Every structure is written in C-alpha cells, then in structure tokens.
Amino acid sequence: DDSEALVHAMRLAIEYRQRFERDIFIDLLCYRKYGHNEGDEPRFTQPLLYKAISAHLNPREIYTQKLLSEGIANKQMVDEMQSEFKTMLEADFDESKKIELNVITPFMQEEWTAYPGAEPG
C-alpha cells in the first residue's frame, strides 16, 4: 500500500542494474481486486479473502489520503488531477477507435512448416 516505497524499490533496482550490470529480483506481494482473469467470480472460491480485499481502499485512495493528511495536496488539487487523468484516458480511448484494423504479421511461419500438424492459423 506504499506507492512511494514501490517507486523507490524500482529506482534502486534500475540503478543497481545499470551500475553493476547484474540482474536483480524484486518480490512484490500483490493481489487482483477482481480475480485472476476478471471472467470468474473469486468471491465464490475465496470468499474471506475477497471480502477483505473488497473492504480495502485502492492504491489511489490510499495515496490520496496520505497526500491530504500530510498537507502535500489539497482536495481541489486531487480533484483536478483526477479530472485531467480521466480526460486524457477518454481522449486516448476515442483516438483508439479511429484505428480501423490492426494487422499482426505472422512470424516464424516458415520455421514451423517442417513440423507435422503445423498449419498457418
């Protein structure tokens, strides 16, 4: 629930990777608010867990409370940022509707022709 700690850990990992040219592993403990594929209802299989998750504030709400309580932002600033972000998302969504058709170019098609049962799909 600590967004700033997450950003700090990521930056530290990037700096380590750049400086020492070695891999680094970050173990994040996370959950999916709407289940593992958003196609099922996890409250049937994990009722206690998802009751707790449903009652838990989302990261935006938690960070907003932190900024407000520490006096870093006020309600008007938060509302403006949320409105600007929503406007940006809606504009990008509207722009995406203008794309008529995305074409996915097949790759490795020739490499698979030697295998039995491999047919272009």
Model confidence pLDDT, tens digit, residues 1-12: 899 999 999 999
User: What does the block give as tokens for 24?
Assistant: 């680094």
Output the pLDDT for position 37: 73
- pLDDT, mean of residues 77-87: 97
Gyration radius (Cα) of the chain, Å: 22
Output the pLDDT for position 32: 82
* Residue 83 Rama label (left phi>0; alpha psi -120 to 50; beta): alpha
Does 98 reside within a domain?
Answer: yes
pLDDT at position 117 over 80: no
Does 3 reside within a domain?
Answer: no
Residue 81 belongs to what domain range? 31-112
Does 26 reside within a domain?
Answer: no
Please give the tally of structural domains in the chain: 1
Percentage of residues in the chain having pLDDT higher than 70? 96
pLDDT at position 118 over 70: no
Does 61 reside within a domain?
Answer: yes
- pLDDT, mean of residues 99-103: 80
